[in-house]
Chains A and B, each alone.
Chain A
Amino acid sequence: MIASAKLQAQHVWKIFGGQREAEVVAVQDLSLHVGVNEFVSLVGPSGCGKSTFLMMAAGLESISAGDIWIDGKPITGPGADRGMVFQSYTLFPWLSVEENIRFALKKSNLPRREQDALVREHIQLVGLGGFERAYPNQLSGGMRQRVAIARALVYKPEMLLMDEPFGALDAQTRLQMQELLLAVWQAHRTTVLFVTHDVEEALLLSDRIYVMTARPGRIKAEVVVDLARPRTLLDTESDPHFAALRRQVLTLIREEAQRAAASGEFIGAT
């Protein structure tokens, strides 16, 4: 076991179905680790099982075989030590922005005044000052994901699990959100496991990237993103080394997509 790892997975399998249904191997013998305060991305073709792995790490999906540890303790279920941001909007529509963020502090037992201070601080952090009393149906998609990020950070989980959090946003908004996440993470380092199929996004944000194979998902390659920090969208993406890394990762993914197409396997949505 790697001593400095926040999250470690060893020989993890996920097999759906069985008994009377046909078995589907979603994740095959997957091993990886995420260091303390490290930003790690999991990229791969659609349907490769990267989201399934994230759900297992969150404790929301059972593990068929193998183990995932957080701080050396095996995962047995979901818990407040792992914050999660989903692709779809998971805000509570009957609560205002403020109340949505405060909801995550329900089990914190903090006095009301400290809760208020934390909520206010995190609203500022994601740039939503002035929208405290707005309801989700009054917000744009990008603003809703800002609230979701603030809500996942406010109770100070040990690590963040993000499942294509910007996947449903338009291209312009996605860039803004990537910059926002970059700034937030660089200011408040925390451990992040980030699932995406957007290679540029993974390179911009991550310290390391795991590239997965097509289904059944295994780790195909590990790429260290040795780009200088602090990074910004414009400077980092115009760095020649960024282009080289991008080419390397895209080639790996394309190999997988072609292999999957050649073997005639159905590639569904993630």
Chain B
Amino acid sequence: MSSSVPPQRPAALRRQPVRLLELRREIPRRWYVSAGVGFIALFLIAWIALTAGQWVSPIFLPSPLAVLAELRSQAASGVLWQDLWASVYRIMVGWVLSTVLAVPIGVLMGNFRFFEGLFEPFIDLVRYMPAVAFVPLTILWLGVGDAQKFAILFIGVFFQQVLMIMDNVKTVPREMIQVSYTFGLSQWEILRSVILPAAMPGVWDTFRITVGWAWTYLVVAELVAANVGLGYRIMRAQRFLETDQIILGILIIGLLGLFTDYLFKWSYRRLFPWALQSR
């Protein structure tokens, strides 16, 4: 017998126990967030305990308060802002130079076997060469100005970035290109109005990852022949064993890297809502 009365929703539902450690199981969001925050807090507490209890000499590990005091004095004297601007400017120019070349070359390599054959052996050769080792050469070639800093960032980023962009382009399904031919489009029209928009989300992710690398290469770029910059501040502090300055510099670079990463993630969701999994 099928009744026409809709079934009544049970008043009380069975409580599901929280299982934190089960293969691939979703956990409540507050657990997820507090675990991450808690781990960082634990790290901070260990730092405070080690320094406050005089377990280690402040030369080796200054207290968080000492680092904070250093931040305040650098901000007050304006050194911090000078360093910040110098470094952000170098990273922007170095990364943009790399990207402006990597995108067209990567797109050609991902679409035409000829260009892949032409460039890949050379790029594979260079990309394993250590960027640090280019410091003396770049000073010889470009002097001690910002151009040399851009060059180090470029060498660190470009040769990996171009291969990643090639791979981003190659993920565009062949059938998507084939079906476009049946609409009567030429290969250049397909490249511009099918392959490029289809590859854009992947390329954006490559941008996010490679900007992160640019941050890690900053210290290398400011290793020698710099007189301002976050990386330079760390190198100088090393000479005078000012560990509070070193830790402050490392923390600032870390936070700025995190911030750019977040910026790219946020704009990705804005620019490519169609690429997000909606089910």
Contacts and interface: CB of A to CB of B under 8 A. Distances in A.
Contacts of B182: 58, 60, 78-80, 82-84, 152, 157
A90 interface: yes
B3 interface: no
A136 B272 CA distance: 13
A186 interface: no
A107 B274 contact: no
Residue with the greatest number of chain A CB neighbours at <10 A, chosen from B175, B275, B278: B175
B254 interface: no
A137 B274 contact: yes
A107 B272 contact: no
A88, A90, A136: residue with the most chain B Cβ atoms closer than 10 Å: A90
A135 B277 CA distance: 11
A124 to B, nearest CB: 21
Given A92-B197, A103-B183, A58 B173 contact: no
A250 interface: no
B279 interface: yes
Interface in A77-100: 77-80, 82-84, 86, 88, 90, 92-94
B4 interface: no
Contacts of B53: none
Nearest to B278: A137
Interface string B267-279: 0000011111111
A138 interface: yes
B175 A88 contact: yes
A113 interface: no
Contact of B184 (A60, A79, A137): A79
A100 to B, nearest CB: 10
Nearest to B273: A135
Interface string A113-146: 0000000000000000000000111100000000
Contacts of A136: 274
Interface in B177-234: 178-179, 181-185, 189, 193-194, 197-198, 200
Contacts of A88: 173, 175
B184 A80 contact: yes
B176 interface: yes
Contacts of A94: 197-198, 200, 272, 274-275
B196 to A, nearest CB: 10
Contacts of A77: 181
Contact of A90 (B173, B189, B273): B173
A169 interface: no
A229 interface: no
Interface of B: 173, 175-176, 178-179, 181-185, 189, 193-194, 197-198, 200, 272-279
24 contacts: A55-B178, A60-B178, A60-B181, A78-B182, A84-B182, A86-B178, A88-B173, A88-B175, A90-B179, A92-B194, A92-B198, A93-B198, A93-B274, A94-B272, A94-B275, A104-B183, A106-B185, A106-B189, A106-B193, A107-B183, A107-B185, A135-B273, A136-B274, A137-B276
Given A60-B178, A90-B173, A93-B198, 13 more contacts: A58-B182, A77-B181, A78-B181, A78-B182, A80-B183, A84-B178, A90-B175, A93-B275, A94-B275, A103-B183, A106-B193, A135-B273, A155-B184
